[in-house]
């Protein structure tokens, strides 16, 4: 034991400190604690609980706490409340159902009118909910009665929401409301036609109703399967005849192939109705038609290149116009050919008759408009009259062109004694000579000459023949075109 005064250590039981003599006091022992049997029992039980169970209990408590917090947040979340009110309104809706949920949604909107973020989130939720209603309408139904009931319910819900909120942008706008109504209206009548087809006893009546099932309908594939099977025989006959029209063999020219497919398109359009049935809605017909359209575009482009290489650009334009007339206006293929036509418009030749007339004799004439000669139509021409001497015209080309093309045509009622010759000069140098032309002889009437770097072009009709009496006889250069 230790002295309380000097701290020296003394023997147990000593009454006075051996160092300083201070009287020592015996230390008091703490009374023994009584054992709590209940506590001990609990401790013992806790000791025997497995560690994994203890962890599981802890986790469960944490999950419970989190769930309580989340629930509290959700209960105070305006977006969740609006979704719940909308769902409740739709699930319980009848024609005489009240609008308590709509009132509550209105209260939420008003209470957040200064919170643009909250309003936008609410709006998105409303849109998603209504979208799902409309999407879920496009499903299968037991019968038409069930369809009618669902249609009336969905229509009524949309109308009531729209009417209550008066097209409010955050709930259901005027535009969205009528788009939804149109969508479900189309689906309703489509599905109604489907049920009429199912119940029909006549095969044609079935076809009539199935053909009115729209593509967006969940019944569409089933309806199309019936239509395709029903029309198999008609389509096979149509296909056989259509394919025979374009089976020209390996030696067919591009022009022949193009004309064949143009005829095929015309045939398909004229025969799309068989026995009051529209074959054009079938996959088989559309395959034939689309293939013909594709071939027309392909051969039009190829033939255009062939004509261009022969300086027949005007014919290219006419050919493209013919092809475009066979196609659906403003379709992709139509627009593709229209672009091709535009590219060729920049390559169109100029009429020689539009060029500057430097000089001419009294027996020659120049026309840039259409005329008919020997029952053939031409869009421009130069004429020379027989007067017993050479007739000529001179045009200023300004070195702008590379090629001149024209055709020599004899006028009607030539006298057997008339003879003449067409000679063309470029800046005084002879470029072309036709050879002697009579009433009946055969010459190359096609003119195709190089006029590169030519400034003045002179055309002479050389003759010593004279008309008999007062009659006038002519020779023509029709459609004289210049190419750059």
- Tell me, yes or no, whether 478 and 450 share the same domain: yes
Establish if 289 belongs to a structural domain: yes
Could you say which of 278, 311, 345 is where a domain stops?
345
Average pLDDT of every residue of the chain = 87
Could you say which of 301, 320, 345 is where a domain stops?
345
pLDDT band at residue 96, thresholds of 50, 70 and 90?
A: confident
Residues 6+ away with beta carbon under 8 Å from 480: 351, 352, 353, 380, 381, 382, 404, 405, 406, 447
Q: What single DSSP character describes residue 375? A: T
Q: What is the pLDDT of residue 59?
A: 65
User: Is residue 32 pLDDT above 50, yes or no?
Assistant: no
Q: What is the pLDDT of residue 19?
A: 67
pLDDT band at residue 445, thresholds of 50, 70 and 90?
A: very high
Establish if 171 belongs to a structural domain: yes
Question: Which position has the token pair 């007062």?
Answer: 470
- Tell me, yes or no, whether 357 and 310 share the same domain: no
Put the strands of the sheet holding 456-462 in their side by side order.
356-360, 391-396, 456-462, 421-426, 429-433
What Rg do the C-alpha atoms of the chain give, in angstroms?
A: 50
- Compute CA 444 distance to the chain's CA centroid, rounded to the nearest angstrom: 52
How far, in Å, CA of 206 to CA of 223, rounded?
9
Buried b / exposed e along 96-109 (16+ C-beta atoms within 10 A): eeeeebbebbbebb
Percent of the chain whose predicted confidence (pLDDT) is above 70: 86
- Tell me, yes or no, whether 371 and 340 share the same domain: no
Q: What is the pLDDT of residue 4?
A: 67
Establish if 212 belongs to a structural domain: no
Across 21-30, 261-270, 438-447, least confident range: 21-30
Q: What is the pLDDT of residue 68?
A: 46
**Domain count for the chain:** 3
Percent of the chain whose predicted confidence (pLDDT) is above 90: 63
User: Is residue 118 pLDDT above 70, yes or no?
Assistant: yes
- Tell me, yes or no, whether 158 and 121 share the same domain: yes
Question: Which position has the token pair 């051969």?
Answer: 299
- Tell me, yes or no, whether 180 and 238 share the same domain: no
User: Is residue 352 pLDDT above 90, yes or no?
Assistant: yes
pLDDT band at residue 403, thresholds of 50, 70 and 90?
A: very high
Note down the domain range covering 256.
Answer: 232-345
């Amino acid at each position: 034991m230790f002295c309380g005064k000097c701290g020296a250590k003394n023997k147990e039981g000593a009454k006075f400190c051996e160092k300083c003599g201070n009287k020592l006091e015996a230390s008091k022992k703490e009374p023994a604690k009584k054992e709590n049997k209940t506590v001990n029992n609990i401790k013992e039980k806790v000791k025997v609980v497995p560690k994994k169970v203890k962890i599981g209990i802890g986790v469960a408590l944490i999950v419970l706490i989190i769930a309580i917090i989340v629930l509290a947040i959700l209960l105070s979340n305006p977006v969740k409340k609006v979704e719940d009110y909308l769902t409740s309104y739709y699930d319980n809706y009848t024609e005489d159902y009240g609008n308590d949920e709509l009132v509550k949604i209105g209260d939420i909107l008003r209470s957040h009118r200064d919170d643009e973020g909250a309003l936008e989130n609410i709006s998105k939720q409303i849109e998603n909910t209504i979208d799902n209603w409309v999407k879920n309408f496009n499903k299968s139904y037991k019968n038409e009665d069930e369809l009618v009931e669902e249609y009336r319910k969905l229509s009524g819900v949309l109308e009531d929401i729209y009417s209550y909120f008066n097209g409010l942008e955050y709930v259901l706008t005027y535009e969205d409301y009528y788009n939804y109504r149109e969508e479900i209206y189309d689906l309703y009548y489509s599905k109604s036609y489907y049920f009429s087809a199912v119940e029909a006893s006549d095969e044609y009546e079935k076809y009539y109703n199935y053909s009115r099932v729209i593509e967006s309908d969940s019944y569409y594939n089933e309806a199309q399967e019936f239509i395709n099977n029903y029309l198999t025989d008609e389509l096979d006959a149509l296909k056989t005849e259509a394919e025979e029209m374009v089976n020209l063999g390996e030696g067919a020219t591009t022009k022949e192939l193009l004309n064949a497919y143009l005829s095929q398109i015309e045939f398909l359009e004229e025969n799309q109705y068989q026995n009051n049935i529209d074959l054009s809605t079938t996959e088989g017909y559309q395959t034939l038609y689309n293939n013909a359209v594709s071939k027309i575009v392909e051969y039009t482009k190829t033939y255009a290149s062939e004509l261009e290489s022969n300086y027949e650009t005007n014919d290219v334009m006419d050919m493209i116009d013919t092809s475009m007339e066979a196609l659906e206006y403003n379709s992709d293929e139509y627009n593709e050919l229209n672009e091709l036509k535009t590219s060729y418009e920049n390559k169109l030749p100029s009429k020689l008759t539009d060029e500057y007339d430097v000089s001419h004799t009294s027996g020659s004439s120049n026309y840039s408009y259409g005329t008919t000669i020997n029952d053939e139509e031409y869009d421009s021409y130069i004429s020379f009259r027989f007067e017993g001497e050479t007739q000529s015209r001179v045009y200023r080309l300004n070195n702008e062109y590379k090629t001149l093309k024209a055709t020599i045509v004899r006028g009607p009622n030539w006298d057997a004694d008339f003879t003449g010759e067409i000679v063309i000069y470029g800046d005084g140098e002879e470029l072309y000579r036709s050879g002697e032309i009579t009433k009946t002889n055969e010459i190359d009437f096609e003119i195709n000459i190089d006029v590169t770097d030519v400034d003045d072009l002179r055309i002479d009709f050389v003759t010593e023949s004279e008309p008999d009496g007062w009659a006038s006889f002519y020779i023509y250069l029709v459609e004289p075109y210049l190419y750059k």
